[in-house]
Amino acid sequence: MRFSGFILAIDSYLVRKGTVSLLSRIPDIRIIREFSAADSFRQYATRQDIDFLVISQSIFDQSSAVFVSHPGLLERTILLKEDSVSHLEIHNSIHLWEEKEVITAKIKRLIELHSSSLSTSGSSELTQREKTIVRLVSMGLTNRQIAEELFLSTHTVTTHRKNISSKLGIKSVSGITVYAIVNNIITIEEVTSKPSE
Amino acid sequence: MISRDMLMCVAVFENMQLLPLFPRFKMELGFGEKSVEEVCKTHGVNTDFFLEIANSYLDEAYIPGEGLSLFSLGTVISYLKETHTYYVETALPMVEEKIYLLLDQSSLSDKEVNLVTVFFNDYKLEFLTHILEEEQHILPYILELEKQSALKKPDSEFAQKLQSYSIREFEQGHDRLETSLEHLSRLIIKNLPPFEDFQLCQQVLGDLSDLVKDLTDHANMEDKILIPRVAELEKQLISRIDTP
Ligand SMILES: [Fe+2]
Ligand SMILES: [Fe+2]
């Protein structure tokens, strides 16, 4: 937890190792797995969540199914471009001849943009919205009730709850409640008398 | 810092925090005039390993990984397992008993008692689940990985598993068990009304703080020594499988 997990799917050995060496210089990045072929990457992707992906053009071309089954992954993917022809609209790409500083900046920006929406968040500070949710959880509200209170979808509340648990390293309602009390987010008086799920 | 030539009794006398380590190495007090090395030898414990564990336990700034990387994963794992046993059979029940005693004798409201009770029950469940996951899945997997790595040709079923599993997944979900205990201490010190039995309260806080320190040390061994070494082994084995 508290780091960004990267999957590399790059067929060229040299490019893959170069990417590893570059990524490992950026703090809070973990390389979860490296793949040199499309089939082993696709097989992995059927079973696992992926936070961030760096992929080579040829594996990318053979892996469209992965992006269908992982909605949102495309925005967290960096395509390594070998030529200037762009056959698919993708948000983030790196050209192989780009300077180290440019590449590093691109990767860091990507992480910043997405880490708050991923379970493996880069920061352990709660946002204001998350604190509000922690408060409502401690008062005994269900996700559905919280969603109604804050005009959010239940799905969004569930995502927030996941992020909160991952940032704090606490899963239970009672654990979150005690966290909220010692951090002045709520008083003991305001807490529901039966914190349970 | 303790060293191999030191008398064990002196080492302990000057560093009482080391006491919880002895049962984990199946060592008993009554060391007489034996040196650290002699005590280790008598109990069939690798002296370097003992020194590495003890010194990292004493020094919070100690950066693990260098000294301990000399030992087999099996050695590190059997130490971690002994520590799990200590938590589950001794440390956790001990602090639990005192907490309930403290609650019994307190003038806390029902709501406050309920808050602590539910909190501790949930925590215990989380704790046991965490340990069980490591004992039943993670540690056996690592031992198997070490065994397979030593083989000329790793077993095909294991090679298959490696295609879709990595220890990094465990790392991502690996929670720090000490966090909630720190919150409990803060709750007692800061938010709950004062307890009449101050002695008992002091004991609870002392036990909690000892356990937090021990758990931190334990999790550091898992996160900073075990996982990186396992990830490295996985990588080596995968590249061997990929390039026959
Ligand atoms: Fe453990
Ligand atoms: Fe652990």
What is the complex's ipTM, to 2 decimals? 0.84
The reply to whether B131 and B216 lie within a common domain is: yes
Residue A48, chain B, CB below 8 Å: the answer is yes
Helix (H, G, I), strand (E, B) or coil at A95: strand
Q: Outline where B105-226 has alpha helix (H).
A: 110-133, 139-150, 156-164, 167-172, 178-186, 198-220
Q: Which residue has the higher pLDDT, A121 or A69?
A: A69
Min Cα distance B2 → chain A (Å) is: 34
What pLDDT is recorded for position A195?
Answer: 44
Helix (H, G, I), strand (E, B) or coil at B42: helix
The reply to whether B145 and B237 lie within a common domain is: yes
Domain end position, chosen among B66, B86, B109: B66
Q: Are B185 and B98 in contact (CB under 8 A)?
A: no
Closest by CA to A161, choosing from A175, B112, B223, B129, is A175
Class of domain A4-120: alpha beta
pLDDT category of residue B62 using cuts at 50, 70 and 90: low
Is B237 a member of any domain? yes
- Expressed as residue numbers, the domain containing B163 is 73-242
Angle at CA of residue A44, ends A39 and A45, nearest 5°:
95
Q: Are A11 and A37 in contact (CB under 8 A)?
A: yes
Domain end position, chosen among B66, B87, B113: B66
Q: Residue range A153-179: average pLDDT?
A: 91
Q: How many domains does chain B have?
A: 2
CB contact under 8 A, A182 and B111: no
Chain B, 180-219: which have a CB under 8 Å from a chain A CB? 180, 183-184, 186-187, 190-192
Instruction: Report the distance separating Cα A170 and Cα B49, nearest Å.
Output: 33
The reply to whether B61 and B87 lie within a common domain is: no
What pLDDT is recorded for position B47?
Answer: 92
The reply to whether B176 and B109 lie within a common domain is: yes
The reply to whether B170 and B223 lie within a common domain is: yes
Domain end position, chosen among B40, B66, B92: B66
Give B-chain residues touching A32 at CB under 8 angstroms: 166, 168-169, 172
Give residue B177 CA to ligand 2 midpoint distance, Å.
Answer: 7
Tell me how far CA of residue B209 lies from CA of A89, B8, B9, B206, in angstroms: 54, 25, 25, 5
Is pLDDT above 70 for B190? Answer: yes
Is B1 a member of any domain? no
Instruction: Report the distance separating Cα A8 and Cα A33, nearest Å.
Output: 6
Question: Other CB atoms closer than 10 Å to residue B79's CB: what's the count?
Answer: 21
pLDDT digits (tens, 9 = 90+) for A33-66: 889 999 889 988 887 778 899 999 889 989 988 9
What pLDDT is recorded for position B210?
Answer: 93
Is B2 a member of any domain? no
Instruction: Report the distance separating Cα B73 and Cα B203, nearest Å.
Output: 36
The reply to whether B86 and B39 lie within a common domain is: no
CB crowding B87-126: b at 16 or more within 10 Å, else e: bbeebbeebeebbeebbeebebeeebebbbebbbebbeeb
Domain ranges in chain A?
4-120, 128-192
The reply to whether B106 and B203 lie within a common domain is: yes
Q: A128-192 domain in CATH 1.10.10.10?
A: yes
The reply to whether B161 and B51 lie within a common domain is: no
